Amino acid sequence: MIGSEPDAVSGVEGRGTRHSAERMRSGERPMSADSVKRAGVTPDEAMPFAELGMKRDEYEKVKEILGRRPTGSELAIYSVMWSEHCSYKSSKVHLRQFATKAPKSEALLVGMGENAGVVDIGDGWAATFKIESHNHPSYVEPHQGAATGVGGIVRDIMSMGARPIAVMDALRFGGAHQPDTKRVLPGVVEGISSYGNCLGLPNIGGEVVFDPCYIGNPLVNALCVGLLRKDQIKLATAPGPGNKVVLFGASTGPDGIGGASVLASATFEDESQAKRPAVQVGDPFMEKLLIECCLELYAADVVVGIQDLGAAGVSCATTELAAKGTGGMHVDLNLVPLRDPSLRPEEILMSESQERMMAVVTPSDIPAFMAICEKWDVPAVVIGEVTDTGRLVMTWDGEVIVDIPPGTAADDGPVYERPYHEPVGQPALNADTPDRLERPDNLRAALLQLLGSPNLASKEWVTSQYDRYVRSNTVLAQPADAGMLRISEVMAGAEPTTRGIALATDGNGRYAKLDPYAGAQLALAEAYRNVAVTGAKPLAVTNCLNFGSPEDPEVMWQFAEAVRGLADACKILGVPVTGGNVSFYNQTGSTAIHPTPVVGVLGVIDDVAKRVPSGFTSEGLRVALLGETKAEFGGSEWAHVAHGHLGGLPPEADLVAEAALAAVLVEAGRRGLLQGSHDLSDGGLGIALAEACLAAGVGATVSASLTGDAFTDLFSESSARALVAVRPEAFDEFAALCARHEVPCYGLGVTGGTSLVVEGVFEVPLAELRETHEGTLPELLG
Amino acid sequence: MSAARVGIVTFPGTLDDQDAARAVRLAGAEAVPLWHADHDLNGVDAVFLPGGFSYGDYLRCGAISRFAPLMDELIPAALAGLPVLGTCNGFQILCEAHLLPGALTRNASLHYICRDQRLRVESDRTAWTHDFAAGQEIVLPVKHGEGRYVASDETLAELEADGRVVFRYLGNPNGSLNDIAGITNEAGNVVGLMPHPEHAVEDLVGAPSTDGRAFFTSILRKLVNS
């Protein structure tokens, strides 16, 4: 299914025509809605397709499908269903690679195209997870934009038949010192906090990244994971003529109209426009009731098919359910419970009011279904019926206002092969390597400068506003490399299992700007590594692809390269993409954000009690670095912080080395050889050592003599590396394991003391590290 | 002897009920689900009002739940001596129900806060804190947006004089008056606190502490001895 994020729409074709919808608003209109009958006798009436973001040729295609002009309601449906956000019309041709290049995976139960992917995690359990953007609304209204982003992804997970069990958020804001960041960031965090906390879902990780490229286009990517029994998967389908269509949850209001399109700006007179915000308003309390209500409905086995209402609301739910079912549905729009009785059918169809679900229920189950909804104080109304006509028919005041083949809206949208080419400035960007940058004399000062920089500083100011404990299944949460949950206690009555799941999201816009192919692979590699360092085996991938305008061939090249890179990397690492979301038009004027593919990886650990904690957990452990260190500073945090430089090429994405590293970490975790671990990424070994020391307040003394250059040793961002802490008596066994997998293992030193000592280079007391690390965000944000 | 039965109340929007039930079970008691809309305490030996956002906290926290049918049964039972523990939203409901004095208001920081919080046990004379020692320092998580305890000067003086402050924050997270984290009624059977003992009972999950266990062993010992 699709999310609820609007696209910016650039089409201006056809503007200025007086169209029927406008006339309807201005008092010249007939009292009844634009009906199919009326459309038949007024074939030449101008329709506001351009204002709804539709191109002329797309409009002509609708006319061709219907054999007449569409009614206002039909136009509303096609315009939202064929929008970029809902139809993936610019990205589809590229996204196909996720299927054609998909690695063989026995774990994959439900792949792309459903509300969320589902993977088999063993012992009869399945996990479903997905990440989705809510970028544009979060810029317009940070609190509600971010809050409803959480709400939307949680409903996607619910609609698979799962209990949602945790959320994560990958966030990107403008420069930390830019004034608008102080407006957007606190609002976004508060929105996620108020909505997610009220739902009772632990927030177990994510990212907070600052870069001036996001100042006009912050990225709010929300991930949810849910758990279900393998045999309980629900799908969005409406089979069985005679079955009832039930709309339940919140009533439908004027909020979010124009969310997925632009109806509001062009079509409404001033007075009504004021009541129609494009950003939806969330009610987490209703969502919590919906979660418990849905789970009870599933347990009672009274649901044939189910779909959440996100972008395009009733339009999307009815067309998608009908298209995947018997093919026909009859809906009486007058039966939709309204918060604002003045809503017109076109508005009801486009409303993105939150906390709504649609279910297909057999007539004999309706009483039981309604009783459960009543128990949870969730309003529910039968608004229609499944038919075998192959048509989606809707009535309003007894007149037929929609009569379409549902698949034409849901599946047969336009597909674009957008032109693309390498950006004109790309060769110069890649030629401007960081070699010319002056290296620091004082590596101690360089470490502290990096550790206190906004991107590497502690994110506790943000994460302390999220409940990470609720439901008491959280084994690991921020600032651990990955979040981890036990699953045995999630649902009452289920058979026990020792298994757990781990999740991480990562992305690096600077890397992707320098090389979108490698950048997407590095994002996957980092998330994969973050899962592996906890001892969990990476299993499956979700992604949120944040880019500028697909109509810009240079942006489209970035997108095409990123998708190609990610698909190739998934094949090599053996982890399939199970779903995700594309967010285009993240640009202001002609300036796009850095291409930012954000990748989420889900892994499984056989025995959750054997999870490997983050960092140095006790004194007297051997510290080792796994993986090779090369002088790789293109796109690095050091180049960014010390010189404001972005150029050259990102680190090499060595996926074979990455897979070997993960194999070592998972096996070592299983054998109980690791007392702690931490992945190396932004800021390199120096930052990883500092964070590992701060995790439990245990110092370390190490010698860094890897490349012959202490600066490179400490700050290079070579991938496929991790730091581990091993009991001395287990070290030989661990080293042998590394040798067997051909993973380089360098003993660096031992844990202990109250300082981080890099022999012959510097010593920093933990207190100073902590003050530097933890002081930055509170100082910036208050 | 059959296991002690501790009722766990679920209101619409209650979140920590599963956690509360698990903590009760781990201590060896039977967790009995109680539904807000029922006029029935099901013969339980004690009641735990867990945290959450009942009715979305859209009105004053706990102000609607306080009028739930179940509360019509709970309030007289508590006044008659039934042991009752309220954490977070449960504490707020107990205050709204006037089983405990004072009120919980918006954190001084105006932010929700989730962190592992150090506390000092001030009273081991309540039904829920016998297994602690007065003066003991413990760690429990706090997670709330409206946990700032306020009361009139007279009430505060009375609570302090009567030894009814049960827990005090060491490093006040929310601006509570007198660093108050939890209080009890005059009889010592009703205890309310903002921190979450149910999230500190297992090594593998929750806070890095198992200090919450003593709440549940305390009440079991009391029930067995009474």
pLDDT at A5 over 70: no
> In the numeric block, which tokens belong to residue B149?
């305890």
Q: Which residue ranges make up each domain of chain B?
A: 5-225
Mean pLDDT of the region A708-714: 96
- Chain A partners within 8 Å of B110 (Cβ): none
The pLDDT of residue A492 is 64
Which residue in A200, A286, A377 is closest to B15 by CB distance? A200
Mean pLDDT of the region A236-242: 83
Q: What CATH number has the domain spanning B5-225? A: 3.40.50.880
Mean pLDDT of the region B143-169: 98
Residue A287 binned pLDDT confidence (cut-offs 50, 70, 90): very high
A472·B141 Cβ contact <8 A = no
B115·A288 Cβ contact <8 A = no
The pLDDT of residue B62 is 92
Using CA atoms, how far residue A494 sits from A165, A488, A499, in Å, is 15, 8, 13
- Chain A partners within 8 Å of B56 (Cβ): 198, 283-286
For chain B, list residues whose CB is within 8 angstroms of any CB belonging to chain A.
12-13, 15-16, 18-19, 22, 52-53, 55-58, 111-115, 141, 143, 145, 196, 198-199, 202, 204-207
pLDDT at A270 over 50: no
Query: What single DSSP character describes residue A338?
Result: B
pLDDT at A491 over 90: no
What is the rounded distance in angstroms from the CA atom of residue B226 to the CA atom of residue A159?
A: 49
B19·A376 Cβ contact <8 A = no
What is the rounded distance in angstroms from the CA atom of residue A370 to the CA atom of residue A379?
A: 9
Residue A731 CB-density burial (10 A; 0-12 exposed, 13-18 middle, 19+ buried): middle
The pLDDT of residue A14 is 32
pLDDT tens for residues A380-391? Answer: 999 999 999 999
A465·B207 Cβ contact <8 A = no
Residue A463 binned pLDDT confidence (cut-offs 50, 70, 90): very high
DSSP code per residue over A753-769: SSEEEETTTEEEEHHHH
Which residues are CB-contacts of A605 (< 8 A; sequence separation ≥ 6)?
A484, A499, A500, A501, A502, A534, A535, A536, A537, A611, A669
Mean pLDDT of the region A403-421: 92
- Chain B partners within 8 Å of A471 (Cβ): 15-16, 18-19
Output phi, psi for A724, to 5 deg: -130, 155
Residue B205 binned pLDDT confidence (cut-offs 50, 70, 90): very high
B205·A377 Cβ contact <8 A = no
Q: What is this model's ipTM? A: 0.96
- Higher model confidence: residue A476 or residue A274? A476
Count of H helices and E strands in chain A?
28, 28
What is the rounded distance in angstroms from the CA atom of residue A40 to the CA atom of residue B46?
A: 70
Which is catalytic among the residues A19, A85, A640, A678?
A: A85
The pLDDT of residue A20 is 39
Q: Over chain A, what is the mean pLDDT?
A: 90
Count of H helices and E strands in chain B?
5, 11
- Chain A partners within 8 Å of B115 (Cβ): 464
Which residue in B52, B53, B114 is closest to A468 by CB distance? B114
Which residue in A288, A466, A486 is closest to B204 by CB distance? A486
The pLDDT of residue A375 is 96
Residue A6 binned pLDDT confidence (cut-offs 50, 70, 90): very low
Mean pLDDT of the region B3-25: 95
Whether residue A115 contacts residue A159, with contact meaning beta carbons closer than 8 Å, is answered with yes
- Chain B partners within 8 Å of A376 (Cβ): 12
Residue A266 binned pLDDT confidence (cut-offs 50, 70, 90): very low
pLDDT tens for residues A304-347? Answer: 999 999 878 898 899 988 888 878 999 999 999 999 888 889 98
The pLDDT of residue A258 is 58
- Higher model confidence: residue A11 or residue B149? B149
- Higher model confidence: residue A16 or residue A27? A27
> In the numeric block, which tokens belong to residue A624?
């080792």
Q: What percent of chain B has pLDDT over 90?
A: 93
A465·B141 Cβ contact <8 A = no
Sign of CA dihedral A50, A55, A58, A63: positive
pLDDT at A131 over 90: yes
The pLDDT of residue A106 is 85
Is B39 among the catalytic positions?
no
pLDDT at B99 over 70: yes
The pLDDT of residue B224 is 83
Go through the domains of chain A in sequence order and give each one's CATH number: 20-88+233-410 (3.90.650.10), 613-782 (3.90.650.10)
- Higher model confidence: residue A229 or residue A10? A229
Mean pLDDT of the region A415-437: 96
Residue of B nearest to A474 (CA): B205
Q: How far is A465 from chain B (nearest CA, A)?
A: 5
Categorise residue A538: left if φ over 0, alpha if ψ from -120 to 50, beta otherwise: beta
B18·A472 Cβ contact <8 A = yes
- Chain A partners within 8 Å of B141 (Cβ): 469
Which is catalytic among the residues B88, B122, B130, B146?
A: B88
B204·A609 Cβ contact <8 A = yes
Q: To probe the interface with B, which of A460, A467, A473, A605 has the most B CB atoms within 10 Å?
A: A467
> In the numeric block, which tokens belong to residue A217?
């286009």
- CA nearest A689: which of A410, A448, A379? A448
- Chain B partners within 8 Å of A199 (Cβ): 15
- CA nearest A282: which of A250, A257, A259, A313? A250
The pLDDT of residue A325 is 81
pLDDT at A662 over 70: yes
Q: Strand order of the sheet with strand A674-679?
A: A674-679, A722-726, A622-626, A745-751, A700-702, A755-758, A762-765
Q: How far is A469 from chain B (nearest CA, A)?
A: 5
Q: How far is B198 from chain A (nearest CA, A)?
A: 8
A467·B114 Cβ contact <8 A = yes
Instruction: Indicate the range of A18-32, A505-519, A681-695 predicted with least confidence.
Output: A18-32
Which residue in A288, A289, A472 is closest to B19 by CB distance? A472
Residue A420 binned pLDDT confidence (cut-offs 50, 70, 90): very high
B143·A197 Cβ contact <8 A = yes
Residue A263 binned pLDDT confidence (cut-offs 50, 70, 90): very low
Mean pLDDT of the region A146-153: 94
A-B CB pairs within 8 A amount to 89
Residue A104 binned pLDDT confidence (cut-offs 50, 70, 90): confident
The pLDDT of residue A7 is 39
pLDDT at B213 over 60: yes
> In the numeric block, which tokens belong to residue A436?
């010319």
Q: To probe the interface with A, which of B22, B24, B140, B143 has the most A CB atoms within 10 Å?
A: B143
The pLDDT of residue A19 is 39
A472·B198 Cβ contact <8 A = yes
Output phi, psi for A85, to 5 deg: -65, -40
Instruction: Indicate the range of A269-278, A520-529, A594-603, B204-213 predicted with least confidence.
Output: A269-278
Residue A493 binned pLDDT confidence (cut-offs 50, 70, 90): low
A467·B204 Cβ contact <8 A = no
Whether residue A527 contacts residue A505, with contact meaning beta carbons closer than 8 Å, is answered with yes
Is B202 among the catalytic positions?
no
pLDDT at B215 over 90: yes
Residue A488 binned pLDDT confidence (cut-offs 50, 70, 90): confident
pTM of the model: 0.93
- Higher model confidence: residue A5 or residue A495? A495
- Higher model confidence: residue A444 or residue A83? A444
Whether residue B55 contacts residue B22, with contact meaning beta carbons closer than 8 Å, is answered with no
Half-sphere exposure of B159 toward its Cβ, with a 13 Å CA cutoff?
26
Distance, CA of A569 to chain centre: 19
pLDDT at A706 over 50: yes
Query: What single DSSP character describes residue B14?
Result: B
pLDDT tens for residues A537-581? Answer: 999 999 999 999 999 999 999 999 999 999 999 999 999 999 999
Bridge partners (DSSP) listed for residue A604: A501, A537
Which residue in B58, B113, B205 is closest to A474 by CB distance? B205
